[in-house]
Structure 1
Protein backbone atom coordinates (compact mmCIF):
# COMPACT_ATOMS: atom_id res chain seq x y z
CA UNK A 1 0.00 0.00 0.00
CA UNK A 2 1.47 3.31 -1.03
CA UNK A 3 2.10 6.14 1.38
CA UNK A 4 -0.47 8.25 -0.39
CA UNK A 5 -3.20 5.71 0.27
CA UNK A 6 -2.24 5.44 3.93
CA UNK A 7 -2.46 9.21 4.37
CA UNK A 8 -5.91 9.24 2.77
CA UNK A 9 -7.17 6.53 5.13
CA UNK A 10 -5.85 8.43 8.17
CA UNK A 11 -7.44 11.68 7.09
CA UNK A 12 -10.77 9.94 6.51
CA UNK A 13 -10.65 8.31 9.96
CA UNK A 14 -9.83 11.63 11.61
CA UNK A 15 -12.69 13.40 9.89
CA UNK A 16 -15.09 10.62 10.93
CA UNK A 17 -13.94 10.91 14.56
CA UNK A 18 -14.37 14.65 14.53
CA UNK A 19 -17.89 14.37 13.12
CA UNK A 20 -18.83 11.74 15.67
CA UNK A 21 -17.54 13.89 18.53
CA UNK A 22 -19.31 16.92 17.08
CA UNK A 23 -22.59 15.03 16.86
CA UNK A 24 -22.24 13.89 20.47
CA UNK A 25 -21.46 17.43 21.57
CA UNK A 26 -24.45 18.76 19.68
CA UNK A 27 -26.64 16.09 21.25
CA UNK A 28 -25.39 17.04 24.74
CA UNK A 29 -25.94 20.71 24.02
CA UNK A 30 -29.49 20.06 22.95
CA UNK A 31 -30.22 18.44 26.36
CA UNK A 32 -28.77 21.22 28.56
CA UNK A 33 -29.84 24.69 29.59
CA UNK A 34 -28.06 27.76 30.85
CA UNK A 35 -29.80 29.92 33.42
CA UNK A 36 -28.66 33.45 34.15
CA UNK A 37 -30.04 34.43 37.60
CA UNK A 38 -31.02 38.05 38.18
CA UNK A 39 -30.05 39.73 41.45
CA UNK A 40 -33.35 41.53 42.20
CA UNK A 41 -36.75 40.86 40.64
CA UNK A 42 -40.22 42.37 41.08
CA UNK A 43 -43.10 40.13 40.04
CA UNK A 44 -46.83 40.77 39.56
CA UNK A 45 -48.22 37.43 40.72
CA UNK A 46 -47.66 35.84 44.11
CA UNK A 47 -46.33 32.61 42.52
CA UNK A 48 -42.66 32.92 41.60
CA UNK A 49 -41.55 30.98 38.51
CA UNK A 50 -38.03 30.43 37.18
CA UNK A 51 -38.81 32.21 33.93
CA UNK A 52 -39.56 35.40 35.88
CA UNK A 53 -36.31 35.49 37.85
CA UNK A 54 -33.77 34.30 35.29
CA UNK A 55 -32.82 34.30 31.61
CA UNK A 56 -32.93 30.74 30.28
CA UNK A 57 -31.09 29.59 27.12
CA UNK A 58 -31.01 26.18 25.50
CA UNK A 59 -33.27 23.83 23.60
CA UNK A 60 -36.63 25.55 23.08
CA UNK A 61 -38.92 22.93 24.63
CA UNK A 62 -36.62 22.51 27.64
CA UNK A 63 -36.43 26.27 28.12
CA UNK A 64 -40.24 26.50 28.07
CA UNK A 65 -40.51 23.67 30.57
CA UNK A 66 -37.93 25.14 32.94
CA UNK A 67 -39.48 28.61 32.76
CA UNK A 68 -42.79 27.34 34.24
CA UNK A 69 -41.17 25.70 37.28
CA UNK A 70 -42.49 27.30 40.51
CA UNK A 71 -39.82 28.36 43.00
CA UNK A 72 -42.15 29.51 45.79
CA UNK A 73 -45.11 31.69 46.71
CA UNK A 74 -45.39 35.14 48.28
CA UNK A 75 -48.07 34.71 50.94
CA UNK A 76 -48.07 38.12 52.64
CA UNK A 77 -48.23 41.54 50.95
CA UNK A 78 -44.87 43.27 51.28
CA UNK A 79 -43.01 39.98 51.84
CA UNK A 80 -39.56 39.47 50.26
CA UNK A 81 -38.30 36.10 49.10
CA UNK A 82 -34.65 35.12 48.78
CA UNK A 83 -33.83 32.13 46.57
CA UNK A 84 -30.30 30.73 46.24
CA UNK A 85 -28.70 28.52 43.58
CA UNK A 86 -29.16 25.21 45.46
CA UNK A 87 -32.89 25.93 45.64
CA UNK A 88 -33.05 26.55 41.90
CA UNK A 89 -31.16 23.31 41.15
CA UNK A 90 -33.37 21.38 43.56
CA UNK A 91 -36.55 22.65 41.93
CA UNK A 92 -35.21 21.82 38.48
CA UNK A 93 -34.21 18.31 39.56
CA UNK A 94 -37.64 17.66 41.09
CA UNK A 95 -39.12 18.51 37.70
CA UNK A 96 -36.88 16.10 35.76
CA UNK A 97 -33.99 18.39 34.85
CA UNK A 98 -30.89 17.19 36.71
CA UNK A 99 -28.10 19.49 37.80
CA UNK A 100 -25.76 17.88 35.24
CA UNK A 101 -27.80 19.46 32.48
CA UNK A 102 -27.93 22.91 34.04
CA UNK A 103 -25.40 25.71 34.00
CA UNK A 104 -26.10 28.54 36.43
CA UNK A 105 -24.61 32.01 35.97
CA UNK A 106 -25.38 35.43 37.37
CA UNK A 107 -26.31 36.12 40.98
CA UNK A 108 -25.71 33.70 43.84
CA UNK A 109 -29.03 34.71 45.43
CA UNK A 110 -32.19 36.29 44.04
CA UNK A 111 -34.22 38.82 46.05
CA UNK A 112 -37.85 38.76 44.94
CA UNK A 113 -40.69 41.08 45.89
CA UNK A 114 -44.18 41.54 44.57
CA UNK A 115 -45.53 44.57 42.81
CA UNK A 116 -48.06 46.21 45.11
CA UNK A 117 -50.14 49.25 45.76
CA UNK A 118 -50.57 50.97 49.11
CA UNK A 119 -53.85 52.27 50.50
CA UNK A 120 -52.79 55.15 52.72
CA UNK A 121 -54.21 55.57 56.20
CA UNK A 122 -55.51 58.98 55.19
CA UNK A 123 -57.62 57.36 52.47
CA UNK A 124 -59.35 55.22 55.10
CA UNK A 125 -60.04 58.33 57.20
CA UNK A 126 -61.53 60.16 54.20
CA UNK A 127 -63.84 57.26 53.41
CA UNK A 128 -64.90 56.84 57.06
CA UNK A 129 -65.57 60.59 57.36
CA UNK A 130 -67.72 60.57 54.22
CA UNK A 131 -69.62 57.55 55.55
CA UNK A 132 -70.37 59.24 58.90
CA UNK A 133 -71.46 62.44 57.18
CA UNK A 134 -74.05 60.41 55.27
CA UNK A 135 -74.91 58.32 58.36
CA UNK A 136 -74.47 60.66 61.36
CA UNK A 137 -74.65 58.99 64.78
CA UNK A 138 -76.80 61.92 65.99
CA UNK A 139 -78.52 64.91 64.36
CA UNK A 140 -76.68 67.39 66.56
CA UNK A 141 -73.18 66.17 65.58
CA UNK A 142 -71.30 69.03 63.92
CA UNK A 143 -67.65 67.92 64.00
CA UNK A 144 -65.88 64.59 63.47
CA UNK A 145 -62.23 64.41 64.48
CA UNK A 146 -60.24 61.17 63.98
CA UNK A 147 -58.43 60.15 67.14
CA UNK A 148 -55.60 58.51 65.18
CA UNK A 149 -54.68 57.70 61.58
CA UNK A 150 -54.73 53.94 60.81
CA UNK A 151 -51.75 52.15 59.31
CA UNK A 152 -51.33 51.89 55.54
CA UNK A 153 -52.51 48.67 53.89
CA UNK A 154 -50.41 46.93 51.22
CA UNK A 155 -52.46 45.36 48.42
CA UNK A 156 -50.95 43.13 45.69
CA UNK A 157 -51.33 44.64 42.21
CA UNK A 158 -52.49 41.24 40.95
CA UNK A 159 -55.82 42.09 42.59
CA UNK A 160 -57.84 43.74 39.85
CA UNK A 161 -61.11 44.50 41.67
CA UNK A 162 -60.44 46.27 44.98
CA UNK A 163 -63.36 47.60 47.02
CA UNK A 164 -63.56 49.37 50.38
CA UNK A 165 -66.71 48.61 52.37
CA UNK A 166 -67.40 50.82 55.46
CA UNK A 167 -69.87 50.15 58.26
CA UNK A 168 -70.52 51.46 61.75
CA UNK A 169 -68.49 49.93 64.57
CA UNK A 170 -69.42 50.03 68.21
CA UNK A 171 -67.80 52.47 70.65
CA UNK A 172 -67.78 52.38 74.45
CA UNK A 173 -67.58 56.18 74.77
CA UNK A 174 -70.71 58.32 74.42
CA UNK A 175 -68.92 61.03 72.45
CA UNK A 176 -67.12 58.72 70.01
CA UNK A 177 -68.09 56.85 66.84
CA UNK A 178 -66.23 54.09 65.05
CA UNK A 179 -66.15 52.98 61.42
CA UNK A 180 -64.78 49.61 60.32
CA UNK A 181 -63.64 49.42 56.68
CA UNK A 182 -63.26 46.02 55.03
CA UNK A 183 -60.87 45.79 52.07
CA UNK A 184 -62.04 43.32 49.43
CA UNK A 185 -59.86 42.10 46.57
CA UNK A 186 -61.59 40.11 43.83
CA UNK A 187 -64.49 39.53 46.23
CA UNK A 188 -62.35 38.27 49.13
CA UNK A 189 -61.56 40.21 52.29
CA UNK A 190 -57.83 40.83 52.58
CA UNK A 191 -57.77 43.30 55.46
CA UNK A 192 -59.67 45.75 57.69
CA UNK A 193 -59.04 49.12 59.23
CA UNK A 194 -60.99 50.74 62.08
CA UNK A 195 -61.14 54.49 62.61
CA UNK A 196 -62.53 56.11 65.77
CA UNK A 197 -63.77 59.70 65.70
CA UNK A 198 -64.27 62.09 68.59
CA UNK A 199 -67.60 63.86 68.18
CA UNK A 200 -68.57 67.48 68.76
CA UNK A 201 -72.19 68.53 69.17
CA UNK A 202 -74.28 71.66 68.60
CA UNK A 203 -75.36 72.75 72.06
CA UNK A 204 -77.56 75.47 73.54
CA UNK A 205 -76.48 77.10 76.78
CA UNK A 206 -78.02 79.64 79.12
CA UNK A 207 -75.91 82.70 80.05
CA UNK A 208 -76.75 85.37 82.64
CA UNK A 209 -77.17 88.91 81.34
CA UNK A 210 -76.36 90.46 84.72
CA UNK A 211 -75.51 89.39 88.27
CA UNK A 212 -78.24 87.23 89.79
CA UNK A 213 -78.70 86.74 93.53
CA UNK A 214 -79.51 83.35 95.02
CA UNK A 215 -83.23 82.63 94.72
CA UNK A 216 -83.70 84.74 91.56
CA UNK A 217 -86.29 83.38 89.15
CA UNK A 218 -84.72 82.76 85.74
CA UNK A 219 -86.56 84.47 82.86
CA UNK A 220 -85.88 85.77 79.33
CA UNK A 221 -85.23 89.17 80.89
CA UNK A 222 -82.14 88.08 82.87
CA UNK A 223 -80.59 85.33 80.68
CA UNK A 224 -79.86 84.70 76.99
CA UNK A 225 -79.67 81.46 74.98
CA UNK A 226 -76.40 80.96 73.09
CA UNK A 227 -75.33 78.33 70.58
CA UNK A 228 -72.06 76.54 71.31
CA UNK A 229 -70.12 73.40 70.44
CA UNK A 230 -69.64 70.85 73.22
CA UNK A 231 -68.11 67.39 73.69
CA UNK A 232 -71.44 65.81 74.65
CA UNK A 233 -74.98 66.21 73.28
CA UNK A 234 -77.53 68.25 75.14
CA UNK A 235 -80.29 66.29 76.94
CA UNK A 236 -83.06 65.04 74.68
CA UNK A 237 -85.69 66.90 76.76
CA UNK A 238 -83.74 70.17 76.95
CA UNK A 239 -85.76 73.35 77.39
CA UNK A 240 -84.89 76.84 78.66
CA UNK A 241 -84.82 76.89 82.49
CA UNK A 242 -87.38 79.66 82.71
CA UNK A 243 -89.20 79.60 86.04
CA UNK A 244 -86.39 77.90 87.94
CA UNK A 245 -84.54 79.76 90.68
CA UNK A 246 -80.81 80.18 91.15
CA UNK A 247 -79.30 78.19 94.02
CA UNK A 248 -76.48 80.67 94.58
CA UNK A 249 -75.29 84.06 93.42
CA UNK A 250 -74.24 84.08 89.77
CA UNK A 251 -72.07 86.72 88.12
CA UNK A 252 -72.81 88.31 84.78
CA UNK A 253 -72.02 86.17 81.68
CA UNK A 254 -72.08 82.98 83.74
CA UNK A 255 -73.11 79.80 81.95
CA UNK A 256 -75.89 78.28 84.05
CA UNK A 257 -75.26 74.58 84.60
CA UNK A 258 -77.99 72.15 85.75
CA UNK A 259 -76.68 72.16 89.32
CA UNK A 260 -76.93 75.96 89.57
CA UNK A 261 -80.72 76.20 89.38
CA UNK A 262 -83.72 74.29 90.66
CA UNK A 263 -87.47 74.32 90.92
CA UNK A 264 -89.17 76.93 93.07
CA UNK A 265 -89.93 75.34 96.45
CA UNK A 266 -93.36 75.83 98.00
CA UNK A 267 -93.49 78.07 101.04
CA UNK A 268 -93.05 76.77 104.57
CA UNK A 269 -96.50 75.67 105.74
CA UNK A 270 -95.70 74.53 109.30
CA UNK A 271 -93.10 75.82 111.72
CA UNK A 272 -91.45 74.03 114.62
CA UNK A 273 -93.61 73.67 117.78
CA UNK A 274 -96.72 74.70 115.86
CA UNK A 275 -100.04 73.21 116.94
CA UNK A 276 -101.58 71.06 114.21
CA UNK A 277 -104.54 68.76 113.73
CA UNK A 278 -103.64 65.09 113.37
CA UNK A 279 -106.25 63.74 111.00
CA UNK A 280 -106.85 60.09 110.06
CA UNK A 281 -109.72 59.51 107.68
CA UNK A 282 -110.95 56.19 106.30
CA UNK A 283 -114.25 55.23 104.69
CA UNK A 284 -116.82 55.56 107.48
CA UNK A 285 -114.16 56.60 110.02
CA UNK A 286 -112.65 59.95 111.05
CA UNK A 287 -110.20 60.32 113.94
CA UNK A 288 -108.61 63.62 114.94
CA UNK A 289 -106.14 64.67 117.62
CA UNK A 290 -103.99 67.65 118.52
CA UNK A 291 -100.26 67.55 118.00
CA UNK A 292 -97.12 69.66 118.08
CA UNK A 293 -94.71 69.78 115.12
CA UNK A 294 -91.09 68.97 115.88
CA UNK A 295 -89.73 70.62 112.72
CA UNK A 296 -90.79 73.02 109.99
CA UNK A 297 -92.18 71.60 106.75
CA UNK A 298 -93.80 72.29 103.40
CA UNK A 299 -96.89 70.63 101.94
CA UNK A 300 -96.14 67.05 100.89
CA UNK A 301 -93.17 66.65 103.23
CA UNK A 302 -92.94 64.14 106.09
CA UNK A 303 -92.24 65.33 109.66
CA UNK A 304 -92.30 64.16 113.24
CA UNK A 305 -95.33 65.22 115.31
CA UNK A 306 -95.91 64.73 119.07
CA UNK A 307 -99.42 63.77 120.11
CA UNK A 308 -100.36 66.22 122.88
CA UNK A 309 -102.59 63.73 124.70
CA UNK A 310 -100.50 60.55 124.48
CA UNK A 311 -97.07 62.26 124.24
CA UNK A 312 -96.23 59.75 121.55
CA UNK A 313 -94.18 60.86 118.56
CA UNK A 314 -95.55 59.85 115.18
CA UNK A 315 -94.39 60.25 111.56
CA UNK A 316 -96.87 62.20 109.44
CA UNK A 317 -97.35 63.72 105.99
CA UNK A 318 -98.19 67.44 105.73
CA UNK A 319 -101.42 68.10 103.80
CA UNK A 320 -102.14 71.19 101.70
CA UNK A 321 -104.67 72.42 104.30
CA UNK A 322 -102.11 72.36 107.12
CA UNK A 323 -103.27 69.15 108.77
CA UNK A 324 -101.02 66.12 109.10
CA UNK A 325 -101.84 62.51 108.31
CA UNK A 326 -100.15 59.68 110.24
CA UNK A 327 -98.02 57.29 108.21
CA UNK A 328 -98.05 53.65 109.35
Structure 2
Protein backbone atom coordinates (compact mmCIF):
# COMPACT_ATOMS: atom_id res chain seq x y z
CA UNK A 1 0.00 0.00 0.00
CA UNK A 2 1.46 3.34 -1.05
CA UNK A 3 2.12 5.95 1.60
CA UNK A 4 1.38 9.59 0.93
CA UNK A 5 4.24 11.71 2.25
CA UNK A 6 1.74 14.42 3.26
CA UNK A 7 -0.18 12.06 5.55
CA UNK A 8 0.54 12.53 9.27
CA UNK A 9 3.04 9.95 10.48
CA UNK A 10 4.44 9.60 13.96
CA UNK A 11 3.79 8.79 17.60
CA UNK A 12 1.87 10.97 20.03
CA UNK A 13 1.88 10.54 23.80
CA UNK A 14 -1.71 11.12 24.92
CA UNK A 15 -2.97 11.85 28.42
CA UNK A 16 -6.04 9.61 28.50
CA UNK A 17 -8.91 11.06 30.50
CA UNK A 18 -10.98 9.09 33.01
CA UNK A 19 -14.11 7.47 31.56
CA UNK A 20 -12.72 7.11 28.04
CA UNK A 21 -11.59 3.75 26.72
CA UNK A 22 -8.34 3.37 24.82
CA UNK A 23 -10.48 2.80 21.72
CA UNK A 24 -12.25 6.11 22.39
CA UNK A 25 -8.87 7.87 22.33
CA UNK A 26 -8.00 6.18 19.04
CA UNK A 27 -11.33 7.35 17.58
CA UNK A 28 -10.62 10.91 18.71
CA UNK A 29 -7.15 10.83 17.16
CA UNK A 30 -8.57 9.51 13.88
CA UNK A 31 -10.77 12.58 13.72
CA UNK A 32 -7.98 14.89 14.88
CA UNK A 33 -5.47 13.69 12.29
CA UNK A 34 -8.05 12.93 9.58
CA UNK A 35 -6.87 9.37 9.07
CA UNK A 36 -8.18 5.89 9.89
CA UNK A 37 -4.65 4.63 10.50
CA UNK A 38 -4.36 5.15 14.24
CA UNK A 39 -3.59 2.60 16.94
CA UNK A 40 -2.27 2.42 20.50
CA UNK A 41 0.51 0.51 22.25
CA UNK A 42 -0.99 -0.69 25.52
CA UNK A 43 -4.58 -0.56 26.77
CA UNK A 44 -5.69 1.53 29.75
CA UNK A 45 -8.97 0.73 31.51
CA UNK A 46 -11.68 3.43 31.21
CA UNK A 47 -11.32 4.38 34.89
CA UNK A 48 -7.56 4.90 34.48
CA UNK A 49 -5.84 8.06 33.28
CA UNK A 50 -2.43 8.91 31.94
CA UNK A 51 0.09 7.88 29.33
CA UNK A 52 -1.29 6.17 26.23
CA UNK A 53 1.13 5.84 23.32
CA UNK A 54 -0.66 6.39 20.00
CA UNK A 55 0.70 5.65 16.53
CA UNK A 56 -0.52 7.70 13.57
CA UNK A 57 -0.32 6.72 9.91
CA UNK A 58 2.50 4.37 8.95
CA UNK A 59 3.83 4.61 12.51
CA UNK A 60 1.12 2.14 13.53
CA UNK A 61 3.42 -0.49 12.00
CA UNK A 62 5.96 0.27 14.74
CA UNK A 63 3.50 -0.39 17.56
CA UNK A 64 3.81 -4.17 17.23
CA UNK A 65 7.48 -3.88 18.19
CA UNK A 66 6.90 -1.35 20.99
CA UNK A 67 4.82 -3.53 23.30
CA UNK A 68 6.43 -5.11 26.34
CA UNK A 69 7.75 -1.94 27.95
CA UNK A 70 7.89 -1.57 31.72
CA UNK A 71 5.36 0.89 33.10
CA UNK A 72 4.94 3.13 36.13
CA UNK A 73 1.64 3.86 37.86
CA UNK A 74 0.30 5.95 40.70
CA UNK A 75 -2.58 4.09 42.32
CA UNK A 76 -4.93 4.22 45.29
CA UNK A 77 -5.97 0.95 46.92
CA UNK A 78 -8.94 0.76 49.30
CA UNK A 79 -8.36 -1.89 51.96
CA UNK A 80 -11.45 -3.26 53.66
CA UNK A 81 -13.66 -3.73 50.59
CA UNK A 82 -13.33 -6.27 47.77
CA UNK A 83 -15.19 -6.02 44.44
CA UNK A 84 -15.93 -8.49 41.65
CA UNK A 85 -13.77 -6.48 39.23
CA UNK A 86 -10.97 -5.64 41.69
CA UNK A 87 -11.65 -1.96 41.01
CA UNK A 88 -14.22 0.69 41.91
CA UNK A 89 -16.46 -0.11 38.93
CA UNK A 90 -17.49 -3.53 40.25
CA UNK A 91 -20.05 -4.58 42.84
CA UNK A 92 -18.88 -5.13 46.39
CA UNK A 93 -18.16 -8.83 46.89
CA UNK A 94 -16.55 -8.97 50.29
CA UNK A 95 -14.34 -7.25 52.80
CA UNK A 96 -13.76 -6.77 56.50
CA UNK A 97 -13.18 -3.88 58.88
CA UNK A 98 -9.69 -2.45 58.30
CA UNK A 99 -9.62 0.12 61.09
CA UNK A 100 -6.94 -1.85 62.93
CA UNK A 101 -4.42 -1.58 60.10
CA UNK A 102 -1.50 0.84 60.26
CA UNK A 103 1.18 1.83 57.77
CA UNK A 104 3.67 -0.78 59.00
CA UNK A 105 1.11 -3.56 58.42
CA UNK A 106 0.66 -2.47 54.81
CA UNK A 107 4.39 -2.10 54.24
CA UNK A 108 4.99 -5.63 55.51
CA UNK A 109 2.26 -7.01 53.22
CA UNK A 110 3.77 -5.24 50.20
CA UNK A 111 7.06 -7.13 50.58
CA UNK A 112 5.98 -10.47 49.03
CA UNK A 113 4.31 -8.62 46.14
CA UNK A 114 7.65 -7.18 44.96
CA UNK A 115 10.10 -8.81 42.58
CA UNK A 116 9.44 -11.76 40.29
CA UNK A 117 6.00 -13.09 41.23
CA UNK A 118 3.24 -15.28 39.86
CA UNK A 119 0.14 -13.14 39.47
CA UNK A 120 -3.40 -14.28 38.73
CA UNK A 121 -4.89 -11.63 36.42
CA UNK A 122 -8.22 -10.06 37.25
CA UNK A 123 -11.09 -12.14 35.90
CA UNK A 124 -12.41 -9.08 34.04
CA UNK A 125 -9.20 -8.68 32.04
CA UNK A 126 -9.09 -8.88 28.25
CA UNK A 127 -7.29 -12.24 28.30
CA UNK A 128 -8.96 -14.74 25.99
CA UNK A 129 -10.31 -18.02 27.37
CA UNK A 130 -11.21 -20.49 24.62
CA UNK A 131 -11.56 -17.64 22.14
CA UNK A 132 -13.64 -15.29 24.31
CA UNK A 133 -12.46 -12.38 26.43
CA UNK A 134 -12.44 -13.19 30.11
CA UNK A 135 -14.44 -10.06 30.97
CA UNK A 136 -17.17 -11.11 28.50
CA UNK A 137 -17.47 -14.49 30.20
CA UNK A 138 -17.70 -12.86 33.64
CA UNK A 139 -20.38 -10.42 32.47
CA UNK A 140 -22.42 -13.32 31.10
CA UNK A 141 -22.42 -14.94 34.55
CA UNK A 142 -19.59 -17.44 34.17
CA UNK A 143 -17.03 -18.14 36.87
CA UNK A 144 -13.61 -17.62 35.34
CA UNK A 145 -10.36 -18.77 36.94
CA UNK A 146 -7.33 -17.52 35.05
CA UNK A 147 -3.91 -19.09 35.34
CA UNK A 148 -1.16 -17.33 37.22
CA UNK A 149 1.52 -15.80 35.02
CA UNK A 150 5.02 -14.54 35.81
CA UNK A 151 5.37 -10.76 36.14
CA UNK A 152 7.94 -8.49 37.74
CA UNK A 153 7.11 -5.77 40.21
CA UNK A 154 10.30 -3.71 40.10
CA UNK A 155 9.04 -1.31 42.75
CA UNK A 156 6.00 -0.95 45.01
CA UNK A 157 6.43 2.20 47.05
CA UNK A 158 3.99 3.10 49.80
CA UNK A 159 3.30 6.85 49.58
CA UNK A 160 0.48 7.53 52.04
CA UNK A 161 -2.30 5.90 54.07
CA UNK A 162 -5.64 7.50 54.98
CA UNK A 163 -8.17 5.86 57.32
CA UNK A 164 -11.87 6.28 56.55
CA UNK A 165 -15.22 4.55 56.42
CA UNK A 166 -17.13 2.97 53.52
CA UNK A 167 -19.92 0.48 52.85
CA UNK A 168 -18.96 -3.16 53.28
CA UNK A 169 -20.49 -6.28 51.68
CA UNK A 170 -23.74 -5.95 53.65
CA UNK A 171 -24.07 -2.23 53.04
CA UNK A 172 -22.98 -1.39 56.57
CA UNK A 173 -20.30 1.23 57.14
CA UNK A 174 -16.99 0.00 58.46
CA UNK A 175 -13.37 1.07 58.66
CA UNK A 176 -11.26 1.21 55.48
CA UNK A 177 -7.73 2.30 54.72
CA UNK A 178 -6.94 4.10 51.48
CA UNK A 179 -3.36 3.49 50.40
CA UNK A 180 -1.48 5.49 47.77
CA UNK A 181 1.31 3.59 46.02
CA UNK A 182 3.76 4.00 43.16
CA UNK A 183 4.18 0.79 41.18
CA UNK A 184 6.91 0.11 38.61
CA UNK A 185 5.99 -3.09 36.82
CA UNK A 186 6.71 -5.25 33.81
CA UNK A 187 4.34 -5.40 30.88
CA UNK A 188 1.38 -7.65 31.60
CA UNK A 189 1.18 -6.78 35.30
CA UNK A 190 -2.32 -5.93 36.53
CA UNK A 191 -2.33 -3.20 39.18
CA UNK A 192 -5.91 -4.21 40.01
CA UNK A 193 -4.58 -7.63 40.89
CA UNK A 194 -1.91 -6.05 43.12
CA UNK A 195 -4.71 -4.21 44.96
CA UNK A 196 -6.69 -7.45 45.32
CA UNK A 197 -3.66 -9.42 46.53
CA UNK A 198 -2.70 -6.74 49.05
CA UNK A 199 -6.21 -6.96 50.51
CA UNK A 200 -6.06 -10.75 50.62
CA UNK A 201 -2.66 -10.69 52.35
CA UNK A 202 -4.05 -8.41 55.06
CA UNK A 203 -7.27 -10.43 55.40
CA UNK A 204 -9.63 -7.50 54.75
CA UNK A 205 -10.07 -7.46 50.98
CA UNK A 206 -9.01 -4.67 48.68
CA UNK A 207 -9.69 -3.00 45.35
CA UNK A 208 -8.33 -0.25 43.14
CA UNK A 209 -10.05 3.15 43.35
CA UNK A 210 -7.70 5.30 41.24
CA UNK A 211 -5.03 4.56 38.65
CA UNK A 212 -2.77 6.83 36.64
CA UNK A 213 -0.06 5.64 34.27
CA UNK A 214 2.85 8.06 34.49
CA UNK A 215 5.28 6.20 32.23
CA UNK A 216 5.18 3.64 29.44
CA UNK A 217 8.70 2.61 28.49
CA UNK A 218 10.56 5.80 27.48
CA UNK A 219 7.38 7.89 27.25
CA UNK A 220 6.53 10.11 30.25
CA UNK A 221 3.44 11.96 31.42
CA UNK A 222 5.29 15.30 31.14
CA UNK A 223 5.12 15.01 27.34
CA UNK A 224 1.51 13.78 27.18
CA UNK A 225 -1.19 15.83 25.45
CA UNK A 226 -4.95 16.04 25.79
CA UNK A 227 -6.99 15.26 22.70
CA UNK A 228 -10.45 16.79 22.16
CA UNK A 229 -13.63 14.74 22.28
CA UNK A 230 -15.32 13.49 19.13
CA UNK A 231 -18.23 15.92 19.38
CA UNK A 232 -16.38 19.19 18.96
CA UNK A 233 -16.51 21.77 16.21
CA UNK A 234 -14.06 22.11 13.36
CA UNK A 235 -12.54 25.23 14.90
CA UNK A 236 -11.61 23.30 18.07
CA UNK A 237 -10.22 20.44 16.02
CA UNK A 238 -8.17 22.77 13.83
CA UNK A 239 -6.69 24.50 16.87
CA UNK A 240 -5.91 21.17 18.53
CA UNK A 241 -4.32 19.84 15.34
CA UNK A 242 -2.02 22.86 15.11
CA UNK A 243 -1.10 22.54 18.78
CA UNK A 244 -0.36 18.82 18.69
CA UNK A 245 1.29 18.42 15.27
CA UNK A 246 4.73 19.72 16.34
CA UNK A 247 4.78 17.13 19.11
CA UNK A 248 4.16 14.15 16.85
CA UNK A 249 7.39 12.19 17.30
CA UNK A 250 8.94 11.14 13.99
CA UNK A 251 9.98 7.58 13.19
CA UNK A 252 13.68 8.11 13.87
CA UNK A 253 13.04 9.77 17.24
CA UNK A 254 10.77 6.92 18.30
CA UNK A 255 13.24 4.30 17.11
CA UNK A 256 16.11 5.88 19.06
CA UNK A 257 13.99 5.80 22.21
CA UNK A 258 12.59 2.31 21.90
CA UNK A 259 15.30 0.19 20.27
CA UNK A 260 19.00 -0.46 20.28
CA UNK A 261 20.48 1.62 17.45
CA UNK A 262 22.92 0.50 14.75
CA UNK A 263 24.35 3.28 12.59
CA UNK A 264 24.77 2.02 9.01
CA UNK A 265 26.53 3.45 5.99
CA UNK A 266 24.72 4.55 2.82
CA UNK A 267 25.40 1.29 0.98
CA UNK A 268 24.02 -0.84 3.82
CA UNK A 269 21.02 1.45 4.14
CA UNK A 270 20.27 0.97 0.44
CA UNK A 271 20.48 -2.82 0.73
CA UNK A 272 18.19 -2.87 3.77
CA UNK A 273 15.77 -0.50 2.07
CA UNK A 274 15.47 -2.98 -0.81
CA UNK A 275 14.82 -5.88 1.56
CA UNK A 276 18.23 -7.49 1.11
CA UNK A 277 19.55 -9.85 3.77
CA UNK A 278 22.98 -9.29 5.30
CA UNK A 279 25.38 -11.33 7.40
CA UNK A 280 24.12 -11.68 10.96
CA UNK A 281 24.77 -8.67 13.18
CA UNK A 282 25.04 -10.72 16.34
CA UNK A 283 22.26 -8.73 17.99
CA UNK A 284 19.84 -11.64 18.32
CA UNK A 285 16.12 -11.80 17.49
CA UNK A 286 15.20 -8.49 19.15
CA UNK A 287 14.71 -5.72 16.57
CA UNK A 288 17.49 -3.16 16.19
CA UNK A 289 16.95 0.25 14.58
CA UNK A 290 19.12 0.77 11.50
CA UNK A 291 19.84 4.50 11.15
CA UNK A 292 21.40 5.88 7.96
CA UNK A 293 24.13 8.58 7.79
CA UNK A 294 21.46 11.30 7.64
CA UNK A 295 19.90 10.11 10.90
CA UNK A 296 16.84 8.52 9.31
CA UNK A 297 15.28 5.20 10.31
CA UNK A 298 15.72 2.74 7.45
CA UNK A 299 14.43 -0.45 9.03
CA UNK A 300 14.05 -2.53 12.13
CA UNK A 301 16.54 -5.35 11.71
CA UNK A 302 16.78 -8.71 13.49
CA UNK A 303 19.00 -11.76 13.19
CA UNK A 304 16.84 -14.50 11.67
CA UNK A 305 18.22 -17.90 10.66
CA UNK A 306 21.80 -16.67 10.66
CA UNK A 307 21.15 -13.51 8.66
CA UNK A 308 20.29 -9.91 9.46
CA UNK A 309 17.13 -8.84 7.70
CA UNK A 310 14.67 -6.01 7.88
CA UNK A 311 11.58 -7.15 9.78
CA UNK A 312 10.05 -3.73 9.13
CA UNK A 313 11.34 -1.53 6.31
CA UNK A 314 10.45 2.17 6.17
CA UNK A 315 9.02 3.18 2.78
CA UNK A 316 11.34 5.48 0.78
CA UNK A 317 8.78 8.30 0.75
CA UNK A 318 8.99 8.43 4.54
CA UNK A 319 12.77 8.88 4.34
CA UNK A 320 13.01 12.29 2.67
CA UNK A 321 16.45 13.69 1.81
CA UNK A 322 18.14 15.40 4.73
CA UNK A 323 18.19 19.17 4.80
Q: Which has the higher strand share?
A: 1
Larger Rg: 1
TM range (shorter): under 0.3
Larger relative contact order, structure 1 or 2 (CA cutoff 8 Å, min sep 6): 2
Q: Which has the higher helix share?
A: 2
TM-score between both structures, scaled by the size of structure 2 = 0.21
